[in-house]
């Protein structure tokens, strides 16, 4: 029975998150429905990670097992033809039986994109976070470096987070400006529920001058979510890539392209 991996891109603004739900539409449901048509059998997928309602993916990776014999091109094009326009398949690969989209992942990368201008967005209202007050990206980047390394991220996890441990290893974190866009990039072995959005909330407060640069370190040391900042809105968040062992040769860490605010936010396909 072949095991197939897919790279997915989706606009999360019209979904209630990744996971299939009885009361609302999840991305997982439409992906499984589309693949089931191609396979002519029921398909269930396993994802590298869940995304919340309103959160997008420039690269989500899933795997599934099937008895159907299809080419990689057929899986890719057939699935896209049977999914809504807000979801696309970027690639399909047959992978070893032991591959697991979640547990084989070595690292995950997220981007948080902020539109920093006085005027509120219209074209990209659901694809960026809007901050009208001037942000100092250099202060934000300096503050973010306190989070690099292995730490207890209790101050940055949601109250409903179900992870058994708050320990996570942050490999890199950076804040850069591209004109009116301020981009936060984070890469870690794994993430807690709302972790990136809570980090963004702290850094935004530092960027506006509301809080000092060392506040990020103080919040981390508190290990108490109640003493942290606000949770930033979901629209600016993108699952941007999943890192696997190079031997798998999966195109799962694409270059994320930040476009002008008047153009659709997207990611460059591998």
Pairing of strands 107-116, 129-131: parallel
Catalytic site includes residue 136: no
C-alpha 259: how far from chain center: 18
Six token digits for residue 137: 């990206």
Pairing of strands 149-152, 167-178: antiparallel
- Could you give the CA distance from residue 69 to residue 248 in angstroms, rounded to a whole number? 21
- Could you give the CA distance from residue 127 to residue 258 in angstroms, rounded to a whole number? 11
Six token digits for residue 270: 């591998």
Contacts of 232 (CB under 8 A, 6+ apart): 112, 129, 197, 198, 200, 201, 204
- Could you give the CA distance from residue 225 to residue 80 in angstroms, rounded to a whole number? 40
Q: For residue 62, give Cα distances in angstroms to 22, 51, 153, 183.
A: 21, 13, 26, 26
Q: Which of 11, 22, 52, 224 is the catalytic position?
A: 52
Report the catalytic residues.
52
């Amino acid at each position: 029975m072949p095991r197939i991996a897919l790279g997915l891109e989706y606009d999360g603004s019209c979904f209630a998150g990744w996971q299939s739900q009885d009361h609302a539409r999840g991305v997982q449901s439409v992906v499984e429905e589309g693949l089931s048509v191609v396979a002519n059998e029921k398909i269930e997928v396993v994802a590298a990670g869940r995304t919340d309602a309103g959160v997008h993916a420039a690269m989500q990776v899933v795997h599934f097992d099937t008895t159907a014999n299809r080419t990689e091109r057929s899986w890719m094009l057939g699935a896209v033809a049977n999914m809504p326009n807000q979801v696309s398949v970027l690639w399909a690969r047959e992978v070893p039986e032991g591959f697991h989209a979640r547990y084989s992942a070595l690292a995950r990368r997220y981007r948080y994109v902020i539109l920093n201008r006085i005027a509120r967005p219209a074209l990209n209202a659901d694809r960026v976070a809007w901050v009208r007050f001037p942000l100092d990206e250099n202060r934000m980047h300096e503050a973010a470096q306190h989070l690099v390394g292995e730490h207890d991220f209790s101050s940055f996890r949601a109250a409903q987070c179900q992870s058994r441990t708050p320990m996570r290893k942050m490999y890199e974190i950076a804040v850069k400006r591209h004109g009116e866009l301020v981009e936060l990039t984070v890469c870690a072995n794994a993430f807690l529920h709302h972790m990136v959005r809570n980090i963004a909330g702290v850094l935004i407060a530092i960027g506006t001058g509301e809080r000092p640069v060392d506040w990020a370190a103080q919040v981390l040391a508190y290990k108490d979510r109640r003493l942290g900042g606000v949770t930033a809105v979901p629209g600016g968040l993108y699952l941007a890539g999943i890192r696997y062992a190079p031997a798998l040769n999966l195109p799962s860490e694409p270059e994320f392209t930040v476009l002008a605010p008047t153009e659709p936010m997207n990611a460059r396909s591998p």
